């Protein structure tokens, strides 16, 4: 495993390049197929509203998959991720319009740990609201 970021080059507070990830209904249908999660709250507006949601929402695991890209794009080698966890605090609501939704993700180094590993804390928002809580990854740097 060969991260392109060196442990000695990062400090607590080092910011990772932030990213924006657009998501629309087609994205969700595609993710449903690839992941095998066909829960209708992710593609059927009528069903979503019947169970009390404002509209179709993104798969939490889709948001989790996007958020870690800030880390894996930074280090280059996705195999250098040692731990990754999130709390799903709010749904990403995806309207059926020309825009869909956008998931904004930023991250910074929160702690330097043993064995060349660091903890990165991620922030993910959509429509100005935090959608993930306790979003943390531990990665092994070079």
Partner 1 sequence: MALDQSFVGRTYPPTEPYEVGREKIREFAEAVGDANPAYTDTEAAKALGHPDVIAPPTFVFSITFKAAGEVVEDPQLGLDYSRVVHGDQRFAYVRPVRAGDRLTVTSTIEAIKSMAGNDILDIRGEVHDEAGEHVVTAWTKLVARAAEEA
Question: Where along the sequence are the contacts to partner 1 (CB under 8 A)?
Answer: 1-2, 21, 27, 30-31, 33-37, 60-62, 64-66, 68-69, 72-73, 76-79, 81-88, 134
CB closer to partner 1 out of 81 and 109: 81
User: Residues 91-107, buried b or exposed e (16+ Cβ, 10 A)?
Assistant: bbbbeeeeebbebbbbb
CB of 14 to partner 1, least distance (A): 20
CB of 25 to partner 1, least distance (A): 13
Q: Return the closest-CA partner of residue 131 out of 84, 72, 83, 87.
A: 87
Q: What three-state secondary structure class fits 58? A: coil
CB of 8 to partner 1, least distance (A): 20
CB closer to partner 1 out of 13 and 83: 83
Q: 62 forms bridges with which residues in the sheet?
A: none
CB closer to partner 1 out of 8 and 69: 69
Q: 20 forms bridges with which residues in the sheet?
A: 104
Distance CA 37, CA 78 (A): 23
CB of 54 to partner 1, least distance (A): 15
CB closer to partner 1 out of 13 and 110: 110
Q: Residue 108, exposed/middle/buried by CB under 10 A (0-12, 13-18, 19+)?
A: middle
């Amino acid at each position: 495993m060969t991260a392109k970021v060196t442990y000695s080059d990062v400090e607590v507070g080092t910011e990772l390049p932030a990213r924006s990830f657009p998501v629309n209904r087609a994205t969700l249908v595609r993710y449903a197929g690839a992941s095998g999660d066909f829960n209708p709250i992710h593609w059927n507006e009528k069903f979503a509203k019947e169970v009390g949601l404002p509209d179709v929402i993104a798969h939490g695991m889709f948001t989790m998959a996007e958020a870690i890209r800030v880390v894996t794009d930074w280090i280059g080698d996705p195999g250098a991720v040692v731990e990754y966890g999130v709390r799903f605090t709010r749904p990403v609501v995806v309207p059926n319009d020309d825009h869909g939704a956008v998931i904004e993700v930023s991250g910074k180094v929160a702690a330097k740990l043993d064995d060349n590993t660091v903890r990165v804390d991620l922030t993910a928002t959509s429509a100005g609201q935090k959608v993930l809580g306790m979003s943390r990854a531990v990665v092994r740097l070079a």
